[in-house]
A and B are shown apart, each in its own frame.
Chain A
């Protein structure tokens, strides 16, 4: 009863009149134009200035961040000066417009453009049909890249998920859960280039009679073995690169799987144990099916990530010694060989590989909307 009276007591909202106010409109328009003008001047200034770097940095940050905020504000002022009908009609597009525009410019349209390019020769002049795709699948180097990429997908993704699950289960039963998880998770914060340096150092190789400064060779020598140049030995070197990925991404799998494990109902496990199920049975028959969804999601995410792997290979071996993968081939075709058609075809192959995931995501979305 009281709530109703409160609502009734509220003053009627000062809804703006359903007519546009020319003065406000022009002020807002002027504001928008001034903002654009100032941003343009800032751009000219930033493109050619020789001020101390720290000052340029600060100006650049203010210009970039403040500029976007100012654009949104003035664009909204402009819309809100319109009549209510038009305001309601246009405002959603002012809100989603920039994001959709960026998505279109940076991802959607380029996908189509790359697809188009892939049917043309290296200078994007002559139509060559499917020749680039033919080359993609017959070129021995590309074939090697595909084999390597599959190795990355299987061993890398599998390693991350299995180890992540193992650590999640162990951490779940340990008192040191928080610190253990933080340590495993830490490499996720590091760049692939940084990780490349870290592991190059582990794999460092010195000739036999010299002291080994790489940890791996030092261990091997101390057990009486011969030092090896790990990065150059085909095809094992691929595995040594994949270890870097596993080191970096296991934390990601662990965090997600650990959260899923916490969602397994305790009484379900308790009941299974009372019924005489061993720990292993409980794990494979109850826990695994229960967190299946998360396992699939984690595997897909890491697989997509692994598909595009570039930095580790590029920094650690430069794609030499048979370690080339699809993304490094793309870079090489595009930048070293300036073969735009071939490069585009390789990118499209990557795209085709993620299409099933995209299709699945869209189907899930439609299901959600039907609810």
Chain B
């Protein structure tokens, strides 16, 4: 009892300070979370806008912003007023008892009762009377996706009622092409790099230090340096425009980072396991395939995700080595082509962009942990 009283006594003078500190902490928390929330919203809006737009109809997307799919107040027509055709426009006009000028009718004029009057057809002297209502602009469909994925011609009805034919962008073909490029361009450099990393880490041979220094030096070499000579080599080998060319190029350009990352990991593995395996008569090749590769799965996965995303998202290398072969084009090239030739067709662009993002986003969300780990391993040291 006495102890309790004592604690209470000592605690009571401190209470205002604690409360003040707590209050400051609370405002701090609100401030931190609020700021973070604002940044997150800013960061996410562009992607959300794209995603929503890709499901909107061709007309909707070109006449209203994507945010109008959310409930918002907008003027909707309730009735029309027909003035006498030929009424002079330079004089005051009387609409429903209010005197208005032509300019006001062009801009839209809000009457005292909340209704808005606006020209529907100025030449025919037709005026719309509009009322503010809650609206949602949500005509969604999947036709945009069907049209960009398709390689055939398709017809649609334009705004003026005529029917038009357009060539599909065949993104499904580009999607398969991208997979064909990306899977071997991810696995092959990893194989090469893993073998090399193991040798650098656990074998002693003349030239080891020089070769590893070469790997480190080449980490930062801009690939622009390589483009002209490699293109000449590929032309001489007659493999320009083939997937093989892409695999070779991505393997070459991805190897420095792959070797460096895997070396960092493999050289940290405990020495004993390798020694005991060697004493047991395992060859270097067996140690590597049966021991090192399984143990290195986390590092391999990290780099695999890295390289896969890099290859999938690459534009420059495909532009240079696949540029002349339309059939082999990858997603980024097709998408860039649509931007170039039909930059105002937002219904196609948004759907196409989302198709190109689909797989990276799936990979990202399912394997984020490995991705982050790979980043940390690669860059803090470098």
Give me the interface of A with B, judged by CB distance under 8 Å.
10, 13-15, 43, 46-47, 53-54, 56-57, 60-61, 64-65, 68-69, 72-73, 76, 80, 89, 91-93, 95-96, 98-100, 102-103, 105-111, 113-114, 117, 163, 166-167, 170-171, 173-176, 179-180, 182-194, 196-202, 204, 211-215, 218, 247, 252, 255-256, 259-260, 293-294, 297-298, 300-301, 304, 307-308, 310-311, 314-315, 318, 327, 330-331, 334-335, 340, 343-344, 346-348, 350-351, 354, 357-358, 361-362, 365, 369
Q: Is B32 an interface residue (CB 8 A)?
A: yes
Given contacts A93-B205, A201-B50, A297-B380, contact A107 B226 (CB under 8 A): yes
By a CB distance below 8 angstroms, the chain A residues around B217 are 358, 361-362
- 25 A–B pairs (Cβ distance < 8 Å), ordered by A: A46-B243, A64-B244, A72-B191, A95-B288, A100-B211, A110-B228, A110-B229, A111-B221, A114-B228, A170-B35, A174-B33, A186-B364, A190-B360, A191-B313, A191-B360, A201-B49, A201-B50, A202-B46, A211-B65, A213-B64, A215-B45, A256-B379, A308-B224, A314-B336, A361-B220
Tell whether, in the assembled complex, residue B220 and residue A357 are in contact, meaning their CB atoms are under 8 Å apart.
yes
Known: A53-B177, A64-B243, A113-B229. 6 other contacts (CB 8 A): A60-B243, A106-B252, A173-B29, A194-B335, A214-B65, A361-B217
Residues of B within 8 A of A175 (CB): 33
Structural contact, B199 and A111, CB atoms closer than 8 A = no
Instruction: Check B146 for interface membership: any CB of A closer than 8 A.
Output: no
Bound-state Cα–Cα, A139 to B336, Å: 28
**Whole-angstrom CA separation of A193 from B349 in the bound complex:** 11
Q: Which of A96, A107, A193, A201 contacts B196 (CB 8 A)?
A: A96
Least CB distance, A147 to chain B, in whole angstroms:
19
Given contacts A53-B173, A96-B195, A343-B228, contact A191 B332 (CB under 8 A): yes
Q: How far is the CA of A182 from the CA of B375 in the complex (A)?
A: 14
Taking CB atoms, residues of chain B closer than 8 Å to A95 are 195-196, 198-199, 203, 284, 288
A29 and B363 CA atoms in complex are apart in Å by: 41
Interface centre among B63, B180, B200, B346 (most CB of A within 10 A): B180
Query: Does B382 contact A110, Cβ atoms closer than 8 Å?
Result: no
- Taking CB atoms, residues of chain A closer than 8 Å to B19 are none
Residues in A with CB closer than 8 Å to B220 are 304, 354, 357-358, 361
Q: A182-B368, A191-B332, A218-B65 are in contact. Are A100 and B50 (CB under 8 A)?
A: no
Contact B224 A201 (CB under 8 A): no
Chain B residues within an 8 Å CB radius of A327: 224
Which residues of A lie under 8 Å from residue B216 when comparing CB positions? 361-362, 365
Q: Are B247 and A98 in contact (CB under 8 A)?
A: no
Give A191 to B46 CA distance when docked, in angstroms. 14
Of the candidates A72, A187, A369, the one whose C-beta lies within 8 Å of that of B195 is A72
Q: How far is the CA of A343 from the CA of B181 in the complex (A)?
A: 27
Q: Are A199 and B46 in contact (CB under 8 A)?
A: yes
Interface pick from B87-95, B120-128, B158-166, B253-261 = B253-261
B233 contacts which chain A residues (CB < 8 A)? 105
Nearest CB in chain A: distance from B333 CB, A: 8
The reply to whether the CB of B307 lies closer than 8 angstroms to some CB of chain A is no
Most B-side CB within 10 Å, residue of A57, A171, A346: A57
Is B105 part of the contact surface with A, judged by Cβ < 8 Å? no
Residue of B whose beta carbon sits closest to that of A302: B379
Given A65-B188, A99-B193, A103-B215, does the pair A193, B336 have CB atoms closer than 8 Å? yes
Contact A92 B180, CB 8 Å, known A107-B218, A215-B49 = no
> Is B53 close to A, CB under 8 A?
yes
